[in-house]
Amino acid sequence: MKVIEYSQVWNLDNLFPDGSTSIQFREHIKFLESKVCDLEKELSHFNTPKGINESLTVAELIDSIGHIRMNLSQSNSYVTCLLAQNTKDQNVPLIRDKTASINARFETALKKLQSILLKTEYEIMGIKQ
């Protein structure tokens, strides 16, 4: 049986050229940060839905959350690969901290949305908690 050997070095430049110094990845991080900021702003004005007619707003929020989560996951995976590829790269911890900060803000926004939506059923039925 033939043994197949795989390269120990990944070509991460296919994803974002120049690794941890990638301008494209930094732009991706800025894009993510702006999307999380937009979500936070939307949630600052979002109240417990009072009826079925507000379901479109909820659907839009959920769609936005899905896109942010996917992009955050991809960014976190990329940073993990950069670190695995070169543990001595001094830029990677800074990038990892930035993505972790964005992720924490995103999770906080999710918790806020969850707490608002948990009250929905009671509000529609006219029951105060």
Global pTM? 0.81
User: What residue has token string 């990677």?
Assistant: 92
**What residues does each domain of the chain span?**
20-125
Structure tokens that stand for 39 in this block: 């979500």
Per-residue pLDDT tens digits of the chain, which is 129 residues long: 788 876 666 778 888 899 899 999 999 999 999 999 999 999 999 888 877 777 788 889 999 999 999 999 999 999 999 999 889 999 999 999 999 999 999 999 999 999 988 887 654 445 455
Given this structure, which CATH class describes domain 20-125? mainly alpha
Amino acid at the residue 52:
I
Other CB atoms within 10 A of residue 105 CB: 15
The maximal CA–CA distance of the chain, rounded, in angstroms, is: 70
SS3 sequence, 14-75? HCCCCHHHCHHHHHHHHHHHHHHHHHHHHHHCCCCCCCHHHHHHHHHHHHHHHHHHHHHHHH
